Structure 1
Amino acid sequence: MGLQCLYRGSASELDTAITRDDFIDDLEKRFREAFWQDPDEREVRSWRKSIPTVVRLLVDAGLGDVQVLLELKAPITDVRMDMVLVGTFPETDLRSVVVVENKQWSRIHPDAEMVRLSSDGTPQLHPANQVWGYLQVLRGYVPMLRDEKLCGIVNLHNAPAHLVHAIRPTVQGLGELVQRWVAVYGAEHHRKEFSDVLRRRLSGKHAAQQAEMLLEAPVKPAEGLMAHVAQCVRERTVFPLLDEQREAYDHVRNLVATSKQRTRKEIVVIVGGPGTGKSVIAVELLGTLARQKVNVVHATGSRSFTRTLWKYAGLPGNQRGLFTYFNSFSDATPNDIDVIIADEAHRIRETSRNRKNERDLREPPPQIDELIHAARVPVFLLDEHQVVRRGEVGSLELIRNKAEQLGCGIREINLRHQFRCAGSPEYVDWVERLLMLRPSHGRPVWQPLENFTLYVARTPLAMENYLKALMTENYTARIAAGFCWPWSEPNADGTLRDDVSIGDWRRPWNSQASDYLGDIPPSSLWATDPAGFGQIGCIYSAQGFEYDYAGVIIGPDLVWRNGWHTERRHNVDRDQYQAPDFSMVVRNTYRVLATRGMRGAVLHAYDPATNQLLMDLGIPILEE
């Protein structure tokens, strides 16, 4: 699968095209066809105002043959780069690629490694760090570019030179590699500097062929978090952080550096749907801060996720405290920990204790209070549509109310970009519309995507055989189901009972054991150990994890009868069927299960009418 962009043409062709009245209308139409939505007003304004400032420099510099790619979609994600210039490095045959980020800002001020757009504005991502993330993801996931000439430019064409000078990477002291490979140019005399660097980096020789080869270049598959968690925690930064991901990372690091001088605690809340990189941010922060000797811990409400992190981080027993649970801070001294990173904060419970201490008749404090009090910098990462059991109370509203009650500041950062599901937010959006977790104007008919595969299976056997074949090609795959079948103890010989039964097809749930039963992995490793295939996972063994292909069995607790109906009697999980909002919990469950796949998914509904609905929506049918 190659790279995609909205427009490709030479600088001279684009110089002519932008004079046409219908050029912007054409870009908007292409955008809607590619991304299922209207472009943001600011994007359209940038197309009108910013693109010409770069194109004019190229043409005036005699670089009219250089190819310009507009809105190039970065590999493995739906992040888009404003402009990518492709040509040949002067006096060589090497491909040269220049990534340009356009900003229409006229005012800008430095703030540690971030910037503000006014003297009292909110700190936000430094555009040089933004561009550096794009260079990292191109080098990391497009093998063709690893040895090519690659650099980045921030085009602040409305900003006066003296303000731009103050935020240049060398002046502001950004990372050494950012200083080396990313330049920032403003208005006035900076335009000549900009033009000069374009001449030094680009020529139009064979530019069309270079651009075509780049767009057709194979993209390296994204690897899951667990594949690199040990390096990330113990050695170095591994994952490129893009846009709001990097903004969140930089903001927390700035807070840590100044926390002891602050008179008011600030809570950071990072909100994002499945696959937006919440756990990647969490682990990158943990690793960076731990290597800087900051007292930091990563906490979750998930036994499976935390124990898997223990295993894949490869930490000795005395260092496993880096990964702990939300209920570990009942007796913590206030501000005793520099940073608590509360990952999957939607799983926060009402309290950390199931009952009052027999010698203490007071009500136990809310778990959210314990987390906030224990850390100088409390960081919460959450997805409000992943509340899947009774007693889970984590939400943005809860944290906002608590911040106001405790007199804390709060910074909310929303992650917009998709890194799972092959970087296809269209799929996640479709799942949410299908399950009526967001408004849907009409039937959510499936529109095939170029980089994500979706099927509906007539039978679970067809699903299993398809996924099994993919595993022989070194992909990872799992089947998970709604909690609609009893979960038996293992047989006396250690084998698992075939509890999940659909017609003649019978398979066991994943093991409940805390250790291996022969080759069968414990529940905490079901999603990551290859031997987990063949057992059926549930929401508790799948939530927080990812694999290449997700098989999802929609059980009889969710059926389509001219609308969704949820059936408590068919759900056997006490924490789910006793939930006050059972319908929301069940639909959230299937949203989570359906968005575990990085490359594709297969759906099968136990109820025939519900399975027919999926077929009627245009999902390709997977036969036996």
Structure 2
Amino acid sequence: MAQTLLECGLDEVEVQVEVGLPHTNCAVDLVLCGKHPATGTDTYLAVELKQVRHATVDPRCPVAVDLGFGDGKNKLHPVRQIQRYCEYMVRYLPHLREDEDRLRGVAFLHNARDADVEALFDLPESNHGFLYTLDDLDRFRRLLTARFARASGRRAALALVQDRSDPLLKVTDVARQRSTTGGGLALLDEQCLAFDLIARHLEKTAPHTGYDVGLFQPDEAEIQAVAAPGPDRKRVYILRGGPGSGKSAVALELLRELGGQGREAVLASGSHAYTETLREIHRGTARPGQKRDKDQSAQKLYRYFNSFTEVPADSIDVLICDEAHRLRRSSTHRWTAKEFRDDSRPQAVELINAAKVPIFLLDDHQSIRPDEVGAAAYLKNLAQEHGCLVEVIDLEGTFRAGGSKQYQGWVQQLLGLGTSDPVPWRPDGRMTLTVADSPEQLEQFIRARHLEGATARITAGFCWPWSAPDGERLVDDVQIGCWHRPWNVKPEHSVPDAPRSDLWSTDRRGVGQIGCVYTAQTFEYDWNGVIIGPDLLFRDGTFQVNREASRDPAFTSKIEDEAVRRCVLNAYHVLLTRGVVGTVLYAVDPDTHNELRRLIAGTIGMQQRDGAAPQLTAEGAHVPPDYRWHHG
């Protein structure tokens, strides 16, 4: 690339390398920054470089390609990859939105010949995604000279670096955009690949109407192939990813796309908070006179895993099972009528049978009750035993913790969910991680971020009783020394000036209560305060679970210690990974808190800037530059 720029006389074009996309771990290989030769305005070219020499396209989906890496895994088509990267950059960087022609994108296969990657040229190109190979160097040089003047690109480069990105769209934001044209998310990499692969399958299995109503227009051969008689094996999709990998984003995008086509799709979950929040958002879109209809459609559109016990086989077109790690062994519970009890029938089988196309989205480290069994291996084996074809897709990206994959790995090591012992946190410039000296200091910091307009919450391990309200007042159950605060409102209760338990994560009044794992799971907020209770102690070089300190009613005497250990560690894994911008920790146990101090260098300090009143701020080189500059 450098040689090509020099040959074109563009030696003053600024080249940014590995440009991170806002809020995620994804990065564009190169962004060329300069002046447009005709207008003199800032202009940019995003370039995704590929070393591949051969490539083939998966016949099932035009954006799933084998790039010859030998790992047996399909990758996202390079053109679609750079198109999505550009769309994402335009969405979050205001400077790029000032002119629709400001940013172009290319995929440059600099080792490949046209004939060896011929199938890649079938995907339509756009201003955000053109394909070039070694045979296209002259054409690529013409693109460069048409986009860039022989002038300094420093101003354009600085403008991009200093551009403050828009806030990350959260799960609830995507849900609110379900019926909005141009809404939703710009899915990236494995997210996009999974979405398009499933959408292609749905397009082929849908009854042909004679006109294109979907994402892809099947050709006549494909229509005949679908219509032809043959073995009818159901295909089950499992999307596995860590916290913030975009599982719920894919689920809601599928629901939004299918709803726009008029196809029947249902989103199911085992989380009360998640389901009721989505229902509430759906009801909020009601126009005058539509409230009853919206309420009924919300009940039908967003359902619980245990509501499919009596559903006829294949009666639902597409069933999207989000938070599938919360699947239970069976749908039988204490309120199940005697005639409907069937402890031997797995809940997952009910879901697979109910839908023509079942889709499961899960994280193997987020089951938080002893009877939750929704791991990818469990679902795959169960589906195959029932004659289904199974496709497992791993979502590798992260859209939390400033896009820090390092933070995700650090949390797993901290809790012993990885392959090594806890290690010190090494700042990566993306995630703010700090330790508070007291619960009072933690709360003061979180409330300060809340008053600045950020979303901010405090959660804690389930180590204190959870009382019903005392009349119209919440009980201060969470007590640490002289500091005491209430849990979020208990389900089926209401208290003035406090949100319902299922809305605690999304209602700004939730900052006044302490949340637990059951109200925090699935959701995210900018600033994440976590109180590690006495159920997690640092002893003998590792963090260990102290069962006796837990007040979770799910841990009855019949539950084995190993099951309790798994659930407590997974619960803290959930709590520690809710933060989009930063996380602040405090541990009740002194030895545990000292260990956090040893592992984490970040601190909270009092600062006074520009004559304003002093306030608590995150301190140290661990704080990402964007936060230090803009938030102080």
What TM-score bracket applies, with the shorter chain setting the length? 0.7 to 0.9
Please report how far the alpha carbon of residue 533 of structure 1 lies from its aligned counterpart in structure 2 after TM superposition: 1.2
Secondary structure class of the residue paired with 2:423 = coil
- On the 8 A contact 2:53/2:116 being kept in 1, the answer is no
Q: Closer, same or farther in 2 for the Cα pair 1:397/1:106, shift >3 Å?
A: same
- The residue number in structure 2 matching 1:546 is 524
CA distance in 2, matches of 1:369, 1:243: 30
Please report how far the alpha carbon of residue 327 of structure 1 lies from its aligned counterpart in structure 2 after TM superposition: 1.3
Q: Closer, same or farther in 2 for the Cα pair 1:471/1:362, shift >3 Å?
A: closer
Q: Closer, same or farther in 2 for the Cα pair 1:433/1:242, shift >3 Å?
A: same
Matched, 1:280 2:231: no
CA distance in 2, matches of 1:337, 1:214: 47
**Matching residue's letter, 2:303:** T
Q: 2:240 aligns with which of 271, 291, 294?
A: 271
- The residue number in structure 1 matching 2:322 is 343
CA distance in 1, matches of 2:385, 2:419: 33
Task: Report the more deviating stretch, 499-508 or 155-164.
Answer: 155-164
CA distance in 1, matches of 2:364, 2:64: 29
Residues 429-473 of structure 1, C-alpha deviation per residue, up to 9 Å, x if partnerless? 2111111111236x5112234332222122111101111111111
Please report how far the alpha carbon of residue 296 of structure 1 lies from its aligned counterpart in structure 2 after TM superposition: 0.8
CA distance in 1, matches of 2:4, 2:57: 26
Residues 280-323 of structure 1, C-alpha deviation per residue, up to 9 Å, x if partnerless? 11111110111011211111000110111112233511221211
Please report how far the alpha carbon of residue 118 of structure 1 lies from its aligned counterpart in structure 2 after TM superposition: 8.5
Please report how far the alpha carbon of residue 414 of structure 1 lies from its aligned counterpart in structure 2 after TM superposition: 1.1
- The residue number in structure 1 matching 2:57 is 109
- On the 8 A contact 1:110/1:167 being kept in 2, the answer is no
1:466-545 maps to which residues of 2 (within 5 A)? 466-492=445-471, 494-514=472-492, 516-545=494-523
Matched, 1:56 2:9: no
CA distance in 1, matches of 2:12, 2:308: 62
Please report how far the alpha carbon of residue 122 of structure 1 lies from its aligned counterpart in structure 2 after TM superposition: 6.6
Please report how far the alpha carbon of residue 362 of structure 1 lies from its aligned counterpart in structure 2 after TM superposition: 5.8
Aligned residues: 562
RMSD: 2.3
CA distance in 2, matches of 1:78, 1:601: 17
Q: 1:596 aligns with which of 578, 588, 596?
A: 578
- The residue number in structure 2 matching 1:205 is 151
Residues 460-518 of structure 1, C-alpha deviation per residue, up to 9 Å, x if partnerless? 111011111111111111111111111111112x1111111111111111101446422
Please report how far the alpha carbon of residue 425 of structure 1 lies from its aligned counterpart in structure 2 after TM superposition: 1.6
Task: Report the more deviating stretch, 514-523 or 452-461.
Answer: 514-523
**Matching residue's letter, 1:161:** D
CA distance in 2, matches of 1:106, 1:406: 38
**Matching residue's letter, 1:167:** L
Secondary structure class of the residue paired with 1:584 = helix
CA distance in 1, matches of 2:269, 2:263: 19
TM-score, normalized by length of structure 2?
0.84
CA distance in 2, matches of 1:238, 1:526: 23
CA distance in 2, matches of 1:500, 1:388: 20
Please report how far the alpha carbon of residue 398 of structure 1 lies from its aligned counterpart in structure 2 after TM superposition: 0.7
Residues 200-227 of structure 1, C-alpha deviation per residue, up to 9 Å, x if partnerless? 1223412133223322322222132213
**Matching residue's letter, 2:189:** D
Q: Closer, same or farther in 2 for the Cα pair 1:447/1:577, shift >3 Å?
A: farther
Matched, 1:65 2:43: no
Residues 124-150 of structure 1, C-alpha deviation per residue, up to 9 Å, x if partnerless? 422222111111121111111112411
- On the 8 A contact 2:25/2:403 being kept in 1, the answer is yes
**Matching residue's letter, 2:244:** G
- The residue number in structure 1 matching 2:301 is 322
Residues 77-103 of structure 1, C-alpha deviation per residue, up to 9 Å, x if partnerless? 110112222221112221111111122
Q: 2:38 aligns with which of 91, 108, 120?
A: 91
**Matching residue's letter, 2:241:** G
Q: 2:358 aligns with which of 353, 375, 378?
A: 378
- The residue number in structure 2 matching 1:398 is 378
CA distance in 2, matches of 1:232, 1:110: 30
Q: Name structure 1 gaps, 5 residues minimum.
A: 1-53
Task: Report the more deviating stretch, 421-430 or 522-531.
Answer: 421-430
Secondary structure class of the residue paired with 1:574 = coil
Q: Closer, same or farther in 2 for the Cα pair 1:99/1:265, shift >3 Å?
A: same
- On the 8 A contact 1:237/1:288 being kept in 2, the answer is no
1:137-176 maps to which residues of 2 (within 5 A)? 137-148=88-99, 149-162=102-115, 164=117, 166-168=119-121, 171-172=122-123, 174=124
Please report how far the alpha carbon of residue 163 of structure 1 lies from its aligned counterpart in structure 2 after TM superposition: 6.1
Q: Closer, same or farther in 2 for the Cα pair 1:135/1:322, shift >3 Å?
A: same
- The residue number in structure 2 matching 1:615 is 597
CA distance in 2, matches of 1:129, 1:514: 47
CA distance in 1, matches of 2:138, 2:30: 19
Please report how far the alpha carbon of residue 361 of structure 1 lies from its aligned counterpart in structure 2 after TM superposition: 7.6
**Matching residue's letter, 1:306:** T
**Matching residue's letter, 2:588:** Y
- The residue number in structure 2 matching 1:308 is 277
Please report how far the alpha carbon of residue 364 of structure 1 lies from its aligned counterpart in structure 2 after TM superposition: 4.9
- On the 8 A contact 1:521/1:529 being kept in 2, the answer is yes
Task: Report the more deviating stretch, 346-355 or 101-110.
Answer: 101-110
Q: Closer, same or farther in 2 for the Cα pair 1:527/1:182, shift >3 Å?
A: same
Please report how far the alpha carbon of residue 573 of structure 1 lies from its aligned counterpart in structure 2 after TM superposition: 0.9
CA distance in 1, matches of 2:173, 2:305: 25
